[in-house]
Every structure is written in C-alpha cells, then in structure tokens.
C-alpha cells in the first residue's frame, strides 16, 4: 500500500470515528447538547482536528442523516424483490412502508436522529445533498398513483397526503417502541402492521382527506433546482 492510499485510509478511519461518536452522543444527549469538543473528547482528538474533517456540528449531522437515509434504501428496490415481482401496486406500497418500520428496528440511532430529535437541523437546508430523498418520495407518490390507476385506490386521491398519512402511522409506532411507551406484552411489529393495514383500508374506502399535503419544506414540494433558487 502506497503512502497516499494509507493516508486516505487513515483519514477515512478518523472520519468514521467522528461520525460514530457523534451519532452516539446525539442520541444519548440530544443534538443541542452535543458540541465539537464533546465529540473530540470521545475519540481522544482535539476539536481543531475535528474541524479538519467537518466545518461544523451541523455538517456532522447532515453526513449522518445522509448515511441513515441511504441505509433506509431506495423504495424502487421493491420492484427488484422476487416476492413482489408480480405483486399489485398496493402490495409494493405496503412493502415500502414496512421497510420504513423495519429500519427503525434495525437502525434505531439513525431513525431517532432523522425522525425524532426536534433539535436537529432540517435537511431542507441541504437541498442538493438530499436530492435523492426528494426523488424517493416522488417515487412513493408515483407508486400510490399506480394504485389509483389500477383501481386499488379511489380516483382523485391526493397521493401526497396519502403518503404522509402512511408515513405518520408507521413512524408513530416506531416512536412508541423506541421511547418504551407500549403496553405490557404489546407487540410493536403487529401494531405497525395493523396501522398500515388500517390506513390503506381507509384510503381504499375513499375517506375524505382534509390536509393539503406538505407545504413548509421546499425539498418536499418542488424540484431541487427550483428550491435552491428560492
């Protein structure tokens, strides 16, 4: 191994140590209570050394959020699942949101950072970096529209609101599980399945949706290029 390769490997190892320490501290103490100094102390580096890898604490969080969202996976991957190859669109929708719940069980620290901690910066501040997240949500909306086109969901359904309702239900169960707020003997996996089934059944029954969808975050509602220009 050459000197340059060894230096790159060592730099990546330090970057990894910074991110791991930050993730653990963010979850244990909350984003607002964590400092570059605390992260540096945890890995026995100087704060100045941390700044050589990340300009700010926010940049560390954004790197972690990006990692977490990529671990969550691409909703388009359900089309490559052999078990869903001939499945109707509604089953693909179910699989996407089931995967979101499973992510909360498999990667609870990343899930807490992205979906639970109220003090972390919004990823909408980093439009270009999280363009893939916008694209994934558009894919989910398109899959819901495929359900409408196939007659599995009512015509005229606001698919953006439907996506949000499904997400809120699944995330709600995950938060109850992570915060230890479930009742004795209550199975979060079964509760998540019930919430998903009930929400899909309500959407299929043409329940009137009163909300108008996402409006506060540019990343959610317009092309990334437009959001950057605004």
Q: pLDDT digits over 161-188, tens only?
A: 999 999 999 999 999 999 999 999 999 9
Task: Give me the mean pLDDT over the 188-212 stretch.
Answer: 95
Task: Give me the mean pLDDT over the 47-69 stretch.
Answer: 94
Q: How confident is the model at residue 217 (pLDDT cuts 50, 70, 90)?
A: very low
Report the mean per-residue pLDDT for the chain.
Answer: 87
Structure confidence at residue 12 (pLDDT): 95
Q: What is the pLDDT of residues 118-152, one digit of tens each?
A: 888 887 778 778 888 888 889 999 999 999 999 99
Q: How confident is the model at residue 4 (pLDDT cuts 50, 70, 90)?
A: confident
Collect all residues with Cβ–Cβ distance below 8 Å to 148 and sequence separation of at least 6: 154, 155, 157, 159
Among 4-18, 23-37, 63-77, 137-151, the least confident range: 63-77
Question: Which comes out higher in pLDDT, residue 77 or 190?
Answer: 190
| 30 has pLDDT over 90 | no
Identify the structural domains of the chain with CATH numbers, from first to last.
3-55 (1.10.10.60), 63-229 (1.10.357.10)
Helical packing angle, 131-149 and 159-178, nearest 10°? 120
Report pTM. 0.81
Structure confidence at residue 27 (pLDDT): 87
| 226 has pLDDT over 60 | no
Question: Which comes out higher in pLDDT, residue 59 or 124?
Answer: 59
Q: What is the pLDDT of residues 69-88, one digit of tens each?
A: 988 887 766 556 667 767 88
Structure confidence at residue 76 (pLDDT): 64
* C-alpha atoms less than 13 angstroms from C-alpha of 154 in its C-beta half-sphere: 14
Asked if 126 and 114 count as a contact pair (C-beta separation under 8 A), the reply is: no
């Amino acid at each position: 191994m050459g000197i340059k390769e060894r230096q790159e490997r060592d730099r990546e190892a330090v970057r990894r140590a910074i991110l791991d320490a930050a993730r653990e501290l963010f979850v244990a103490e909350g984003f607002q209570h964590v400092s570059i100094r605390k992260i540096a102390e945890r890995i026995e580096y100087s704060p100045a050394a941390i700044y050589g890898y990340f300009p700010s604490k926010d940049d560390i969080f954004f790197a972690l959020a990006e990692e977490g969202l990529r671990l969550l996976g691409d909703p388009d991957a359900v089309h490559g699942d052999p078990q869903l190859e001939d499945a109707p669109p509604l089953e693909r929708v179910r699989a996407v949101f089931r995967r979101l719940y499973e992510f909360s069980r498999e990667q609870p620290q990343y899930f807490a950072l992205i979906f639970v901690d109220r003090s972390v910066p919004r990823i909408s501040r980093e439009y270009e970096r999280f363009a893939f997240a916008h694209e994934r949500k558009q894919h989910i909306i398109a899959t819901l529209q495929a359900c409408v086109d196939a007659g599995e969901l009512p015509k005229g359904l606001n698919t953006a609101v439907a996506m949000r309702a499904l997400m809120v239900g699944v995330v709600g169960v995950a938060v109850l599980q992570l915060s230890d707020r479930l009742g004795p003997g209550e199975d979060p996996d079964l509760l998540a399945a019930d919430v998903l089934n009930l929400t899909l059944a309500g959407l299929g029954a043409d329940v009137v949706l009163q909300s108008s969808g996402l409006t506060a975050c540019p990343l959610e509602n317009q092309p990334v290029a437009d959001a950057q220009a605004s």
